[in-house]
Structure 1
Amino acid sequence: MSRIGKHPVPVPAGVTVTVTGQTVTAKGKLGQLSAVLVDEILAKLEDGHVVIQPRNDSVRARQNWATQRTVVNNLVNGVNTGFTRNLEINGVGYKAAVQGKELVLNLGFSHDIRYPIPEGITIKCDRPTAVSISGADKQQVGQIAAEIRSYRPPEPYKGKGVKYDNEVIIRKEGKKK
């Protein structure tokens, strides 16, 4: 029995969830998201909760049970409250700014990096060294944060680069005389 999969997904007020076949659709104040579940998983809507169950006792059904429950939970939480990833930029002269529908990054290269902001995603720069990425789709928010971080990952000697706000950079000792 799955420890995560056995818990039903609560549907908060202001969010409507519809289950048609293998497609689960959630609609809330931040938009509409949908996901197609694998064939071995059955989703039902019961008194304000979405219940995820395996159709049979096969290995694939048990493997995907908790994963599909988490996908549905991310749909419901995404359209209700949304998800946010924060990035920090460290380094002399490294900075970021939002100009129109683009994120402009100065990361020590000879040119600025211009990252187009996709639909459904909000990017804010409260300070030149802090980037906040928000949206309803958890996977898309994480992917965009990873792409921005990949332009200049943090290096272990001085810690220069783009890192997640909760990421710990293990520092190395420099050259000795």
Structure 2
Amino acid sequence: MRPAVEIEVDGETGVWTTDGLPMLYIPRHFMLGIHDTVEQALGRERYKDLLSQSGAASAYFWCKQQAEARQLDGVDVFRHYLSRLSDRGWGQFHLENASFEHGTATIRIENSVYVLGRKTEAEQPVCYMFEGFIVGGLTYLAESKGLGFTSVTCREVQCQAQGHEFCRFEAGMTP
């Protein structure tokens, strides 16, 4: 199987791009090592808050850029975002169900990079980094469609690293 994303490499600078954005290709153990070290240094809750903020901002930016570049609208750009996260190896993301009129969505992730990097069963969910990704993508969706929601939250409610079949995230949007 070949990667689903096209990678362009600038001959002068060596910069890799996908979907018009600069990318890095790094070993999983390197990413997970950094993740675990920063979590230990800052504490889980502080690190989780920082990841949520930066992940949401990044996802929002990406969705906006892709909506414009690919003429995607509403839920299509969010589905494209989840697809691209899957294509780039973060895990296999699926929008299980969504009621954007009621401000709810459930996302399932199988084989998350954070699950695959664990050697033992986790005591707590380990895929919390994706909460911010989902918040940012849904915030863009809500704003671009004028759904009237001003706040988006997301929580990992089950994690494959704790013995579940897959990870599940529940998102809510409030006026």
Global fold match (TM > 0.5): no
Name the TM-score, length of structure 2 as normaliser.
0.24
Greater share of helix:
2
Specify which structure has the bigger relative contact order, considering alpha-carbon pairs within 8 angstroms and separated by 6 or more residues: 2
Greater share of strand:
1
